[in-house]
Amino acid sequence: MSGGRKALIALAVVAVLGLGAVAAGALWFRSQSNPSGPPGEAVAVEVPQGASVQRIASILEDEGIIESATAFRIYVRTNDVGEFQSGEYELRRRSSFADVALALEKGPKVDFDRLTVPEGLVLKQIAERVATLPGRSAEAFLAAAGSGEVRSRYQPAGSTNLEGLVFPDTYNFAKDDDELEILRRMVSTFDAKAAEAGIDDVGQGGLVDPYQAIVVASLVEREAKLADERGMVARVIYNRLRKGMLLQVDASVIYALGRTGERGLRVLFEDLEVDSPYNTYKVEGVPPGPIAAPGLAALEAAVRPTPGDWLYYVVVAADGRHAFGSTPAEHSRNIAEAERAGVR
């Protein structure tokens, strides 16, 4: 056999061996990145602040999350993997590289206490909901609210009353957030939402300032049951203010009576005699403060009420729908409709 032929054979053998090594390497990498069988037990893993990929890969290997730190580093370099976040994770042994990388990109899971505050609640009712969170109390929340330590930018000078100045929403609070921090978050959210609604630029011919517009929004929140009536209720309030009429809002009387939490409550004639600045059947103008926590839609209605000349409204249907009138005669006809429907 000639020397040249021997050389060719030798090169062929090397090529075959090389291809075999590449194939074996590919199989090894595949087995590392996607282990066969289900993942193993969950393990708590701490990723230090500022740790490099090399350091993180070593930690994962030491904890048994992956079998090869080297293979994991290759995976990170050759795939579109984002930045890893520091913190404590719960990962499973023998996880795929893709699952581990995705978890580290998303960041550690934080355990929150979730709280939903519906629209139209008074501060005491909100405090009762805060008390459903582990380790919190209604008393501590109300104490924080009355302390003056948290203030809304819309709060009148010298006032420590935060009624109506906490925003109804669904919140996620950290486990160590105390009642003061919870209140601070709710008030700052309210300020942001009120500004978003345009409360700072409220017009209405100088009838109301921003705080009084929030009071109007709280009346709207309690009076209007249907979304498309919020702006109409707000318009009635402004129209009556312009004419110097008493507002005669039942919800404000209910607030004056301290009976906000009752359902299906009807205001009786004797209720209208309650001695309170919130009794809009006896005291002119808007009440001295909000009567509930208004949501964004009610705030927007107070800023941009529906155009119209209505001066009256009355519930005429079981779903809370109102009929609106511009004259006493129209209002009388609407009252008769309500009586026929059995809702008055």
- Residue 205 pLDDT grade (very low, low, confident, very high; cuts 50, 70, 90): confident
Q: State how far the Cα of 82 lies from the Cα of 243, in Å rounded to an integer.
A: 63
Q: Mean pLDDT throughout 293-310?
A: 97
Instruction: Based on the fold, state whether residues 49 and 143 are members of the same structural domain.
Output: no
Backbone angles phi, psi at 46, to 5 degrees: -100, 120
Q: Does residue 31 have a pLDDT over 80?
A: no
For residue 79, which of 53, 61, 59, 56 has the smallest C-alpha distance?
53
In a domain, 120, yes or no: yes
In a domain, 70, yes or no: yes
Instruction: Based on the fold, state whether residues 63 and 83 are members of the same structural domain.
Output: yes
pLDDT number for residue 228: 95
In a domain, 61, yes or no: yes
Considering only residues 36 and 208, tell me which one the structure prediction assigns the higher pLDDT.
Answer: 208
Dihedral of the alpha carbons of 206, 210, 214, 220, in degrees to the nearest 10: 30
pTM reported for the whole predicted model: 0.71
pLDDT number for residue 286: 96
Instruction: Based on the fold, state whether residues 248 and 232 are members of the same structural domain.
Output: yes
Q: Does residue 10 have a pLDDT over 60?
A: no
In a domain, 316, yes or no: yes
Instruction: Based on the fold, state whether residues 265 and 280 are members of the same structural domain.
Output: yes
Task: Give residue-wise pLDDT tens across range 81-90.
Answer: 888 988 888 8
**For the chain, what percent of residues have pLDDT higher than 90?**
62
Q: Mean pLDDT throughout 196-223?
A: 92
pLDDT number for residue 13: 45
* Number of domains the chain contains: 3
Instruction: Based on the fold, state whether residues 48 and 75 are members of the same structural domain.
Output: yes
Q: Does residue 202 have a pLDDT over 80?
A: yes
Q: State how far the Cα of 156 lies from the Cα of 180, in Å rounded to an integer.
A: 20
Least confident of 3-7, 125-129, 276-280: 3-7
Any idea what the CATH number is for the domain that residue 87 is in?
3.30.1490.480
In a domain, 116, yes or no: yes
Instruction: Based on the fold, state whether residues 218 and 298 are members of the same structural domain.
Output: yes
Please answer whether residues 78 and 108 qualify as being in contact, where contact means their C-beta atoms are separated by less than 8 angstroms: no
Place of tokens 């139209």: 120
Backbone angles phi, psi at 209, to 5 degrees: -95, 175
Q: Does residue 320 have a pLDDT over 80?
A: yes
Q: Which domain holds residue 265?
A: 207-341
pLDDT number for residue 344: 81
Last residue of a domain, one of 109, 131, 165: 109
Give Cα 236 to chain centroid, integer Å: 30
Please answer whether residues 147 and 160 qualify as being in contact, where contact means their C-beta atoms are separated by less than 8 angstroms: yes
pLDDT number for residue 17: 46
pLDDT number for residue 333: 97
Q: State how far the Cα of 208 lies from the Cα of 42, in Å rounded to an integer.
A: 59
Please answer whether residues 158 and 182 qualify as being in contact, where contact means their C-beta atoms are separated by less than 8 angstroms: no
Instruction: Based on the fold, state whether residues 74 and 171 are members of the same structural domain.
Output: no
pLDDT number for residue 1: 55
Q: State how far the Cα of 178 lies from the Cα of 136, in Å rounded to an integer.
A: 7
Strand, coil or helix: 71: helix
Helix 138-146 crosses helix 179-197 at what angle (to 10 degrees)? 60
Instruction: Based on the fold, state whether residues 68 and 156 are members of the same structural domain.
Output: no
- Residue 3 pLDDT grade (very low, low, confident, very high; cuts 50, 70, 90): low
In a domain, 15, yes or no: no
In a domain, 24, yes or no: no
Least confident of 61-75, 100-114, 123-137, 139-153: 100-114
Q: Mean pLDDT throughout 2-13?
A: 52
Q: State how far the Cα of 87 lies from the Cα of 46, in Å rounded to an integer.
A: 6
- Residue 55 pLDDT grade (very low, low, confident, very high; cuts 50, 70, 90): very high
Instruction: Based on the fold, state whether residues 247 and 166 are members of the same structural domain.
Output: no
pLDDT number for residue 343: 85
Least confident of 28-37, 229-238, 254-263: 28-37
Helix 97-106 crosses helix 3-33 at what angle (to 10 degrees)? 50
pLDDT number for residue 342: 87
Instruction: Based on the fold, state whether residues 215 and 285 are members of the same structural domain.
Output: yes
Task: Give residue-wise pLDDT tens across range 184-193.
Answer: 999 999 999 9
Instruction: Based on the fold, state whether residues 104 and 116 are members of the same structural domain.
Output: no
Instruction: Based on the fold, state whether residues 283 and 215 are members of the same structural domain.
Output: yes
Tokens of 74: 């290759």
Last residue of a domain, one of 176, 196, 216: 196
Please provide the average confidence, as pLDDT, over all residues in the chain. Answer: 88
**For the chain, what percent of residues have pLDDT higher than 70?**
89
pLDDT number for residue 334: 95
Please answer whether residues 234 and 302 qualify as being in contact, where contact means their C-beta atoms are separated by less than 8 angstroms: yes
In a domain, 18, yes or no: no
249: left (phi over 0), alpha (psi -120 to 50) or beta: beta
H helix or E strand, kind and range, residue 29: helix 3-33
Last residue of a domain, one of 157, 177, 196: 196
Q: In Å, how far are 225, 242, 269, 333, 337 from 330, measured between CA atoms? A: 21, 20, 22, 5, 11
DSSP output for 193-242 = HHHHHTGGG--GGGT--HHHHHHHHHHHHHH--SGGGHHHHHHHHHHHHH
- Residue 36 pLDDT grade (very low, low, confident, very high; cuts 50, 70, 90): low
Strand, coil or helix: 314: strand
Backbone angles phi, psi at 120, to 5 degrees: 90, 5
